[in-house]
Structure 1
């Protein structure tokens, strides 16, 4: 069973909506992709709440969260996430999918004391690694403004899962996107991705990290995940079979098993170090 909560963050972000499940165990904070919301983590809120306190946000300017009072760049989104973690009074294991993974990596670099570990799923170092990708990301904002959220989601949503994904999942992905994205929040998010190239800062991330990628991901792709895994010092890299870009939704049992394994290993290691 999930519960809703509003976390008050520092300006220019005033209110961030989160969904919560679970009352015990480590804090797992989930950051969704650029076309989604906390609804994307329903399989994790449901299954992982028996082992952790699972929290999923609607990023500033998305779904039930308020619009930022000023434009946000990647640092601004990372700082907003940091404010949410601080509201819980303990460091979090941060799970970021796609754009959420880019935020998670910047969060870990800017606020290492708040990040116990990272799970970075189907993500990349940002669209700023390639001028064509950056231009494509910026063009999405015009597309959203011209066609509206529902048509925008109908065009983009089906690409986020493998061709074999059930129709019910495709419909859920499209409905989530249509109900989550709006301007100006999506525009700020797209620009944060277009301007991001995290490759030079990966080596500064000290949090132990699990990099996860669906083997059918054609959006960011396996190569982009490999770049992250190769640049991070404390990293494990795994592939989720039969999953597209949204591995956490398309193959939740396999995805959740990797997340739980990571949490168990990291927390056991941290307990051992604290006893030395």
Structure 2
């Protein structure tokens, strides 16, 4: 879909997909949480509980995921960003946006496509997209066929354990697998995978003007520490934090440490009282 991302101008879709959200908290600024490609709003249960005394937390099921309806047709990264923008507009003038993995890529595009809606960014265990590397893009595009062949449960059993550190408790591994199995389905997952495979946000990252906090698990082998460091280095107002004893899903594996850094960021950017 055409657009001038840096200027925040675009040609909107005639119909922005509806989404299901989970919400907690009734005071403070809005924090919109965007999950990874194999997950749903359930991934943010720790943040809905831990951050809602300070901010209004909204976690979505992306279009075609979880309890959100299937989209009417293929969605690009811009379309996912527009759907996130609609969630913000429905609840207020702007939001702080937390994105994990694929959700981080959507958050970064949201900040360049709809800059007036984003007060700050928290991007965890993410990347500029899989389009930065041909092999990564091909692997991402192959995932839809893998899901179609294996089915959600077997697909989740194969992929889920890789998303946490080797020392993660078994109950966390099971929750990650169960969440994935309950959340992913076609065609939504295929549209998400293509949006990642086509994405290379490196050229537009320097145009992001809002404060950015980049978090990465010290044992993240999916996107990895170097990729997170590069994200932080490309944005002028950024901070970079390693989350100890965590894999790719740092917000779920070490929610106490993760939430403490998010809250610290929000106290600076949104002036939340101590």
Q: TM-score, normalised by structure 1?
A: 0.93
**Residue-by-residue CA offset, 1:43-64 (whole Å, 9 max, x unaligned):** 0000100111000000000010
Return 5+ residue gaps in structure 2 as ranges.
1-11
Alpha-carbon shift at residue 268 of structure 1 (Å)? 2.9
User: Does residue 261 of structure 1 match 2:232?
Assistant: no
**Structure 2 counterparts to residues 1-276 of structure 1, below 5 A:** 11-268=14-271
8 Å CA contact 1:85, 1:114 repeated in 2:
yes
Is the alpha carbon distance of 1:144 and 1:11 closer, same or farther for their aligned partners in structure 2, counting shifts above 3 Å? farther
Indicate the SS of the match to 1:25.
Answer: coil
CA distance in 2, matches of 1:23, 1:208: 24
Contact 2:18/2:83 (CA < 8 Å) preserved in 1?
no
Q: 1:67 & 1:247 partners in 2: Cα distance?
A: 28
Aligned residue pairs: how many?
262
Measure, in 2, the Cα distance between the counterparts of 1:226 and 1:89: 32
Deviations 1:94-151 (A, max 9, x none): 0000000000000000001000000000000100000000000001110000010000
Secondary structure (helix, strand or coil) at the match of 1:216 reads: coil
- SS of the residue aligned with 1:179? helix
Cα distance, 1:207 vs structure 2: 1.2
- Give the Cα–Cα distance (whole angstroms) in 2 for the partners of residues 165 and 212 of structure 1: 18
Deviation of residue 89 (structure 1)?
Answer: 1.7
- Structure 1 residue runs of 4 or more that deviate by more than 4 Å after TM superposition: none
Considering only aligned residues, what root-mean-square deviation do their CA atoms show, in Å?
1.4
